[in-house]
Amino acid sequence: MRGRPHFQRTTEFDSIEGKKNSVGLRFKAEALEWFGLRLPILHDPVDRKAWQAEALRRSTKFCRVLRRRVRGVDRWYLLPTRAGRAVAAGPCNRPRRRSTLALHGGRGGRRALLAPLCPGVVQPWKEMKRLERAMDRSRRATSPDNFDRRGRAKKGARKWKRSRRYQRLAEKRRERERRLAAERKRVHGELANRIVGQGNVVVAFRKSFSRSVKVRAPGALVAVLRQKTAATGGDLMEFPTRTTRLSQYDHTTGAYMKKPLSQRVHVLGDGSGVVQRDLYSAFLARFVEADTLDARYAAEAFRNAKPLLLRAAPGEQHEPASGVGFPHTLWRVQGCPSKRICHARAPNT
């Protein structure tokens, strides 16, 4: 091993991974083998879409054992990396949310979608606030010497006494965060598969806002997109929003005009109508080269793209246009690298 060894406490030892399936951690005959220890795996009793059966038929490249604390109990999971291509998650019912994901592109720019971003991730702000206040009261009661007369924490090294009540509250808080993180990761993978399934060049730009970043994690979605496009032989191109200012640009007049966040539509300067703000930004993103918008090509393509953008957001309803939308299955992408799909993350209103 190169470098200095890194030691961990027993409570911090959460995962271990092997380099290949022939030595060390081995997954054979539906069981984990490790230095004479053999642990059979627990199957999902309801494998409705046969994903588990399909995964078990593939060869194993390497294994990882992961510990997760669920409802106050340590649970160990086996994560075998299988050979083959990934399959996207199936469709799910999504309630309407204000944080949206605007998409435009596909083959020939004939698909557009305005969809909620991570609709199943709903942060229980009030419940978390009550938990944290109860934890703070418990910590102040058991460690009064760590605070001054005004109730401020003293500087320097401190020894904290954490009661059983505090530990139960902390465990409850960790469980809430774990559930949110698991749902967020699942939705990110599904969205990334739907996007990559439309083309091998993805243009991404994002705008981040405090609370929405904590709940929806748009940066994590871009990271998943970067990984999946590289795995399929594609490319992810990002550009800054500060210099392009797509939400402020009007191709009919060539001028930039700021809008309040509450204004979710873009009024065309020539009086020809309005278009949903995020979809319009996603459309313009298709014509950004070297962090610069090619306004001439955007103006020429808007005439054909306008009906599609209007159908994608009728009254800002999150429904796919053209009757096809973005499928839930990740298909192998073949063809020229000019196929694009543009992805824009809209801010909270």
Q: Give Cα 298 distance to the centre of its chain.
A: 29
pLDDT given for residue 282 in this prediction: 82
98: CB partners within 8 A, 6+ apart:
348, 349
pLDDT given for residue 276 in this prediction: 85
Beta bridge partners of 276: 265
Question: CA 195 to CA 341: how far, in whole Å?
Answer: 7
Task: Answer whether 301's CB lies under 8 Å from 287's CB.
Answer: yes
Tokens of 67: 């510990």
| Structure confidence by residue, pLDDT tens digits, 152-185 | 999 988 999 999 999 999 999 999 999 999 988 9
pLDDT given for residue 134 in this prediction: 95
pLDDT given for residue 208 in this prediction: 53
- What sign for the dihedral angle of Cα 21, 25, 27, 29? positive
Question: CA 58 to CA 26: how far, in whole Å?
Answer: 14
pLDDT given for residue 342 in this prediction: 39
DSSP assignments along 195-247, one per residue:
HHTT-SEEEEEE---HHHHHHH-HHHHHHHHHHHHHHTT-EEEE--HHHH-GG
- What sign for the dihedral angle of Cα 121, 125, 127, 129? positive
Three-state DSSP state, 58: coil
Three-state DSSP state, 57: helix
pLDDT given for residue 331 in this prediction: 23
Query: 295-312 and 277-285 helices cross at what angle (nearest 10)?
Result: 140
Tokens of 269: 């300067």
81: CB partners within 8 A, 6+ apart:
60, 61, 62, 63, 64
Closest residue by Cα to residue 231 from 287, 187, 193: 193
For residue 203, the one-letter residue type is: V
| Structure confidence by residue, pLDDT tens digits, 252-307 | 888 888 888 778 888 888 888 888 888 888 888 888 877 788 888 888 888 888 88
pLDDT given for residue 106 in this prediction: 62
Alpha carbon distances (Å) from 285 to 164, 204, 244, 282: 54, 8, 9, 5
Q: Give Cα 133 distance to the centre of its chain.
A: 29
Strand-pair category, 235-238 with 201-206: parallel
pLDDT tens across the length of the chain (349 residues): 466 777 777 777 788 888 888 888 888 888 888 888 888 888 777 776 677 777 788 888 888 888 888 888 888 888 888 887 655 443 334 333 456 777 777 666 667 777 777 877 888 888 999 999 999 999 999 999 999 988 999 998 899 999 999 999 999 999 999 999 998 898 888 888 887 776 656 665 555 555 677 788 888 888 888 888 888 787 777 777 777 888 888 888 888 888 887 788 888 888 888 888 888 888 888 888 777 888 888 888 888 888 888 877 665 443 344 333 333 222 222 222 333 333 333 333 3
Tokens of 325: 């939308």
